[in-house]
Structure 1
Amino acid sequence: MGLIDRFRRVAAGRGGVSRGRSPEAGYLAEWVRTHTGVEGFVEPKTTVTDVTVVLIAADGEWTRRIVGERGARRLARELGIPVYDVGRTGYPQRMRDYDARRRIERKRAIERDLGAE
């Protein structure tokens, strides 16, 4: 069974995403619960993946999962978060800033580890 089928099955009468049985749905619901200011950004289908959703918190931290077009919209509605089409809006600056901070932190950690040897 594919991920899209899991979202359909969960929403079709098993309590919605927040109480769903799908590990992916549970992960996303927990991620939204533990982060503030979360927004969803739907990415288009590619030759490699189906439609994905990127959840981005207020501090720029993010996570991505494959959910399908209808799954992404349903997820956002059930979790009570806004959802945007990334092709129209692009990614928020806070996501790029978060990634830049993470790169700097990794580089410093590597330099610190090499200096300790």
Structure 2
Amino acid sequence: MGLLDRFRRGAARGGAALRAGSVSGEDARYLAEWVRTHVGVEGYVEPKTTVTDVTVVLVAADGEWTRRIVGERGARRLAGDLRIPVYDVRKTGYPQRMRDYDARKRVQRRRALEEELREM
């Protein structure tokens, strides 16, 4: 049995092919769980930078998001393994719902801080 046979066999178990790429097992499990527990998830692949390898941002229908480093091979396998649409962020940009979610969270944090200061 060759090395590639081992990866091909694992792909049928769901998520194994993602783990076989550049994604760590822990990150692959996290991404799969995140997709399972959120509605309307789409992936946005971010290019490699001088600081990080290729990353993916998963964005749910409500705008909540998470980011993980997936590497070149992991990014290619992501859509099939997680069964979600995956886009190149350089071509599509980030979805407006992600920016709206961040804006709502900023307002909530500011209000919580103001409330905490009033209680002092």
TM bucket (normalised to shorter chain) is: 0.7 to 0.9
Q: Rg larger in 1 or in 2? A: 2
Length, aligned pairs only: 108
User: For the Cα contact (< 8 Å) 1:73–1:83, is it kept in 2?
Assistant: no
Q: Equivalent residue for 2:73? A: 70
Identity of paired residues, percent?
69
1:1-117, aligned counterparts within 5 Å?
12=7, 13-14=9-10, 15-17=13-15, 22-117=25-120
**Divergent runs of 4+, >2 A:** 13-16, 18-21
Partners of 1:34 and 1:18 lie apart in 2 by 19
Structure 2 length normalisation: TM-score? Answer: 0.83
Displacement after TM superposition at 1:73 (Å):
2.4
Distance 1:25 1:37 in 2: 19
The root-mean-square deviation of aligned C-alpha atoms, in Å, is: 2.0
Counterpart in 2 of 1:5? none
> CA 1:18–1:102 in 2, change beyond 3 Å: closer, same or farther?
farther
Query: Is the CA contact (8 Å cut-off) linking 2:35 and 2:41 kept in structure 1?
Result: yes
Q: How far is 1:69 from its partner?
A: 2.2
The amino acid of 1:64's aligned partner reads R
TM-score if structure 1 supplies the norm length? Answer: 0.85
